[in-house]
Structure 1
Amino acid sequence: MKRDSKKSWTASLTVLIAFAANVLVAVAKTVAALISGSASMAAEAAHSWADTGNQVFLFIAERKAARKRDKAHPMGYGREAYVWSMIAAFGLFTAGAVVSVMHGIQQLITPEPAGDYAIAYVVLTVAFVLEGVSFIQAFRQTRKAARELDRNTLEQVLKSSDPTLRAVFAEDGAALIGLLIAFAGIFLHQITGSSMPDALGSILVGILLAVVAVVLIERNRRFLVGQAVTSDIEATMARRLLEHPEIERLTYLHLEYVGPRKLYVVAAVDILGDLREHDVAVALRRVERELEDHETVEEAVLTLATADEPSLDFPAVSGHR
C-alpha cells in the first residue's frame, strides 16, 4: 500500500471515529436536554447533530478526493475535498451556531424551568470523554504531520492542505470547549435559580461554533481559489529538484495545490552538460516521472531554462552545489 493510500485511510478512520462519537453524544445530549430543559444542553445537542452531519460530508470529501485523475479531470479530483468540507462548515454554521444562538435568545425572552441536573452532568461528562478520544486521534495525526514539516500543531491546523483533518480537529476542539461552557451554564442555573446563565451558555456555544465555521469556510475558500504554498514547502521542492544529479540550476518554480497533500509542479531547469535535444528531452521526462513517484506530486512539468535567466535563490538550498 502506498503512503498516500495509508494517509487517506488514516484520515477516513479519524472521520469515522468522530462520527461514531458524535452519534452517541448527540443522542445522549438530546435526551438530557428534553429531560432537564437546559438551554445549554439543547445547544450542545444541536452542536452534536451538526457535527454528526458534517462527518458524513467529510467522509464523502475523503472518498471523492481520493479518485484517480482521468481525461475529464486531468489534475484529479482533489479539490472535491474543499467543496464538501465547505458544505460541512456551512452546515455547522446553520444547524449548530444559528440554532444555538436562537434557542439561547428564546430562553432569555421566555425562561423555562430546568431540573434533573444530575442527568445533564452525567451526559456532559460522558460526552467530554468521547469527544476527547476523537480529539486525541485528530491531535496525534496533526502533530505527526506538523513534525514532518517542522511546524507547531496549531500552525499545521491552519496551514494544512488537508481540510478533513482541519475540520475534525477544529470541531472536536470546539466541542470540548462547548461542553465546558454548557457545564458552567447549567451549574450557575442550578445554584442561582436563574435561567440567564444557561441561556447565555447556549448563545456562547453558538458564537463559538460560528467562529469555527467561518474559519473553516475561509480556509476552504482559499484553497479552492488557489492558496499559495508556504515558503517551507517551496524550499523543500526546490531542494528536491536541485539535489537531483541531472539538474544544475533552477530558474522558475510554480507550485499549486490540486487537492489535500497534492501539488502540481512546473519548473524551468538547466540540465548538466551539453546534451543533444533528444537526450535532454529524455532527461526531463525522467526527472518528471521521479517527482511524480512522490506521494505529494500529482503532476510535474519541466522545461529548459535559458542561459540569461537568473537562478532562483532559496536560502535553504542555495550554495548546495
Structure 2
Amino acid sequence: MVEVQDGDSQRTVVVALAVNLIIAVAKASAAMVSGSSALAAEAAHSVADTGNELFLLVALQRSGRPADDIHPFGYGAERFYWSLLAAIGIFVAGGLTAIWEGVRQLQHPRALEAVGVGYAVLAVSLVLDSTSWRTAYRQLRRESRGRGIPLRTSLRRSGDPTTPTVFYEDTAGVIGVLFATVGVALHQLTGSAVPDALASMAVGVLLVVVAFRLAQRDRELLTNQSAPPVIVDGIRVLLAAEVGVLDVPRLEVLIVGPRRWLITGEVAVDGTLPTGTVTGLVEQLRTRLRGEPGVVEAYLTPVPAAHSRVGRVETARPRSTYG
C-alpha cells in the first residue's frame, strides 16, 4: 500500500493558496474596472478559497500533534473540524456572496467597461486554476492507485478531507470561470446585464453545492465512521491467521484521524488453551496490531469458540466503501 504523507497534502494546499491569492486580487481589480457581476462573484469565490486554504493549513498543523493525556488517540480529528469550517466558508463567503451579487446586478444593472481586462483575467485564472486542480488530481490518483480503489471512491470516501477539499474548490473554480466568461460575453453581445447576473448566481449555486458535499463528508468523519472494507478485511485476516484463533466474531475499525484507526473486537480462541496462554495470545495480537501503520490503539476481548456466530461476521462489516 502506498501511503500519502502529510507533506503531499501540504504541498497541494500551498499551491492552491498561492494560486487563489493571485487570482482573487486579479479578479477583484477586473470586477471594479469592468462592472461585471460575474467577475465580482468570481472574486468572492477566490477570496473564500484563499481563506479556506488557510483553514486547511491550520488543520494540517494541529492534526499532526502527538497523542497526550487529554487526547490519547491523537489530534487527527482536528483536520475534520477545520475542513468543516472551510466548507462553511465556501458556503457563506463564496456561494451566498455570489448569489447576492447576481441579485444586485438584476436590481441595479451596470454597464460593462474595459471588457478586454475582464477576458484577460478570466483566461489567466483558468490557467492557474487548472494548474492547482492538476496538482490535487495527481495526489488523489496516486492515493487511489496505492490503495487499489477507483478514483471516484477515493474522492468520495477519503479519510483525509484536505486534498478532496482543494480538488472540489479548484473544480468549482474552473467551472466558475467558464460561467463568468459566458456571462460577460453575453452581456457584451446583448447589452443586457441579465446574463451577467445569471452567471454570477450560477457561480453561487455551484459553490453552495460544493459546500454541502464537503460538509457532508466532514460530518461523516466526525461521527465515528467505520474504516473501509479493505482495511477491516485485512485486519480480520491478520487476526484469524494467528495460531489459537478460530474466528473473529466482532471487529470494528473506527476512523479517528486521517489514515488513523481505532480497533475493537472479539477473537474466538481455542477452548483447550490455558488462561495464561489466552492472555498472552491476546496481548501478542494487540502488540502486532499497534505496529501496523495507522493503528493508534487496539482492544481485543477473547471469547470461547462457542460464542462465535457465523452471521455476526457479515453484520460487523462497515457500510462505507472507503474511509
TM-score normalised by structure 1 residue count: 0.91
Q: 1:28 aligns with which of 19, 26, 37?
A: 26
Aligned to 2:240: 242
CA distance, structure 2, for counterparts of residue 313 and residue 219 of structure 1: 27
* Contact 2:84 2:214 (8 Å CA) reproduced: yes
Q: Look up the SS of the partner of 2:305 in the other structure.
A: coil
Q: Look up the SS of the partner of 2:38 in the other structure.
A: helix
Displacement of 1:245 after TM fit? Answer: 5.4
CA distance, structure 2, for counterparts of residue 13 and residue 244 of structure 1: 41
* Contact 2:246 2:305 (8 Å CA) reproduced: no
How do 1:266-281 and structure 2 match up within 5 A? 266-271=264-269, 274-281=272-279
CA distance, structure 2, for counterparts of residue 272 and residue 140 of structure 1: 48
* Contact 1:251 1:305 (8 Å CA) reproduced: no
Aligned to 1:16: 14
CA distance, structure 2, for counterparts of residue 39 and residue 51 of structure 1: 18
Aligned to 1:57: 55
Q: Look up the SS of the partner of 1:305 in the other structure.
A: strand
Aligned to 2:92: 94
* Contact 1:142 1:165 (8 Å CA) reproduced: yes
Displacement of 1:244 after TM fit? Answer: 4.4
Q: 1:158 aligns with which of 134, 156, 159?
A: 156
Q: Look up the SS of the partner of 1:308 in the other structure.
A: helix
Corresponding pairs, count: 313
Q: Look up the SS of the partner of 2:148 in the other structure.
A: coil
How do 1:1-321 and structure 2 match up within 5 A? 7-244=5-242, 247-271=245-269, 274-309=272-307, 310-311=309-310, 313=313
* Contact 1:32 1:120 (8 Å CA) reproduced: yes
CA distance, structure 1, for counterparts of residue 292 and residue 127 of structure 2: 38
CA distance, structure 1, for counterparts of residue 271 and residue 222 of structure 2: 41
CA distance, structure 2, for counterparts of residue 242 and residue 107 of structure 1: 66
* Contact 1:250 1:305 (8 Å CA) reproduced: no
Letter in 1 for 2:129: E
Counterparts in 2 of 1:276 and 1:308: CA distance versus 1, 3 Å: closer
CA distance, structure 2, for counterparts of residue 192 and residue 246 of structure 1: 79
CA distance, structure 1, for counterparts of residue 196 and residue 270 of structure 2: 71
* Contact 2:250 2:313 (8 Å CA) reproduced: no
Aligned to 2:318: none
Q: Look up the SS of the partner of 2:304 in the other structure.
A: coil
CA distance, structure 2, for counterparts of residue 246 and residue 140 of structure 1: 44
CA distance, structure 2, for counterparts of residue 252 and residue 52 of structure 1: 45
Letter in 1 for 2:239: L
CA distance, structure 2, for counterparts of residue 246 and residue 27 of structure 1: 65
* Contact 1:269 1:305 (8 Å CA) reproduced: yes
Displacement of 1:272 after TM fit? Answer: 6.2
* Contact 1:22 1:52 (8 Å CA) reproduced: yes
* Contact 2:271 2:305 (8 Å CA) reproduced: no
Q: Which runs of 5+ in 1 are unaligned?
A: 315-321
Letter in 2 for 1:201: A
Counterparts in 2 of 1:270 and 1:123: CA distance versus 1, 3 Å: same
CA offset digits 1:159-205 (Å, max 9, x no partner): 11111122111111111111111111111111111111111000000
C-alpha RMSD of matched pairs (Å): 2.1
CA offset digits 1:5-48 (Å, max 9, x no partner): x6111111111111111111111111111111111111000000
Letter in 2 for 1:123: V
TM-score normalised by structure 2 residue count: 0.90
CA distance, structure 1, for counterparts of residue 244 and residue 128 of structure 2: 53
Displacement of 1:109 after TM fit? Answer: 0.9
Letter in 2 for 1:32: A
Displacement of 1:116 after TM fit? Answer: 1.5
- Does 165-174 or 228-237 show the bigger shift? 228-237
Letter in 2 for 1:16: V
CA distance, structure 2, for counterparts of residue 275 and residue 67 of structure 1: 41
Letter in 2 for 1:281: T
- Does 224-233 or 180-189 show the bigger shift? 224-233
Q: Which runs of 5+ in 2 are unaligned?
A: 315-323
